[in-house]
Structures are given as C-alpha cells and as structure tokens.
Amino acid sequence: MNITGNTILITGGGSGIGRALAEAFHRAGNQVIISGRRERLLEEVTTANPGMEALVLDIQDRDDVAAFARQAIESFPELNVVIHNAGIMRSEAVAAGDFLGTAEETIGTNLLGPIRLTAALLPHLLAQPRSAILTVSSGLAFVPLATTPTYSATKSAIHAWSMALREQLKKTSVEVIEIAPPYVQTELLGPQQAVDPMAMPLPEFTSEVMALLESAPATGEIIVERCKPLRFAAENGQVAAVFAQLNAQHG
C-alpha cells in the first residue's frame, strides 16, 4: 500500500488505535477523515491535527451507514481508502444468562458495520485507479479470549471475510489488507488497559504497523511481532498451549 497521497476514511477514529493510525497517516501526507459516534472526541482530534476532517457515524445503524457513505463520497470524491477500525469489546457472563444484548451489539458494530460500510462504498472504490479496504481484526481472531467470546468470534469472522474479499477483488483496483493487533495500550476494555504493562504501547504498535504497510506484505496481513504467537498458533501446533496461557493471564 502506498502510505501517502491518499484520501482515507477511518472509522472509530476518535480514540485508541483509530486515532493513532489517523494521526500517523495525517503526518504521512494523506487527507484523513475520521468518524465515530462521539462528536466531542472527533472535534478534539481534528483540532489537534489541522487539516484532518470528521464525520459523525453510528456504525450500528443500517440507514445511517448508507447516508454516511453518500455524504463521505460527496464531500470527499477522491476517497480511495477505508479503514474499518470501529469496534467494541465487552466481557460476557454466559452462565449468568445476561450476555445476549452485548453479543448482538458486538456483532452489529464489529462485523455488520464493516460489511455494510464496504457495501456502500465499494462501487466508488472500484472506480478509483488505486484503492484499499483495511480491516482491523485481532490476535483473538486466532486464539479466543474466553471472557469475550463474541468479540473473539467477530474478529475471527473479520479475518475470514477479509481473506474472501481479497480473493474476490484481486483483479480489481481494490487492495484488501487486514491488521491484526495484539493486546495494545488503549481503553478498549477500560482505562486500566491503557496503562497495563502487559499491553503493547500504542506508539510502538502504530509505528510497526506503518512500516509493515509500507513494505506491502504479499499475504495482505499486517501482523506485528507481538501478535505472531497468536496468529501462528495453529500453524505451530500451539493453539491449546497459547489458549491456556492467554486465558490464565486475562481470565
């Protein structure tokens, strides 16, 4: 992927990995548009990064996604990259029987959201001479965290969807790239995660991702070193061992 000279839309760009990637691409010489539900956060990011733009989006709302896509294309006709970063991660107490609402919301945000937005933007992206769809999965796509079963499942689905999308679009102008983060210092699971020494510092993660994107791996997957034990657990015959270690650490 050419990491400069693009017009890039990043969902969930108000905080965490989304904001970090938005700022990195902004510094690299791209027109960046961030989106999210919390307008105040979006304004904070654009104020800190003059030239960056923002559009409010409720990724769970089917009609809002369609209207948002039309607005994005109209406002930024050179849009050629979308990064599906918006996501939620919540623990689910399955035995307690109160997890279904969380599961449905997680699927709506993490899986249906990217699929719906891609469907709305794809005709425009296919018409561009050079474009890309970037998905954000997780190391948990390959080895699940027991306390967040639906989150892990949605990320497994995003991985499979990205592979299939890449194959279908391989003869078009649209490149499909999957970024699989490890446990990173963000507030995805709450403020304590942002300072957890077991998590990868966000600046280190962002820097490694940008370097990998520039090197354009043939697999279409961006896997930082810290994520490789999870990503390649199956290939290495280590799923059971990695699953046990992961869930002992985060159980």
Positions marked catalytic: 151
d(CA 91, CA 146) in angstroms, rounded, equals 9
CB within 8 Å of 116: residues ≥ 6 apart:
62, 65, 66
145 in Cβ contact with 102 (< 8 Å): no
CB within 8 Å of 235: residues ≥ 6 apart:
none
140 in Cβ contact with 155 (< 8 Å): yes
Paired sense of beta strands 221-222 and 81-84, if any:
unpaired
What does the DSSP 8-state code read for residue 140? G
Tokens of 54: 């923002």
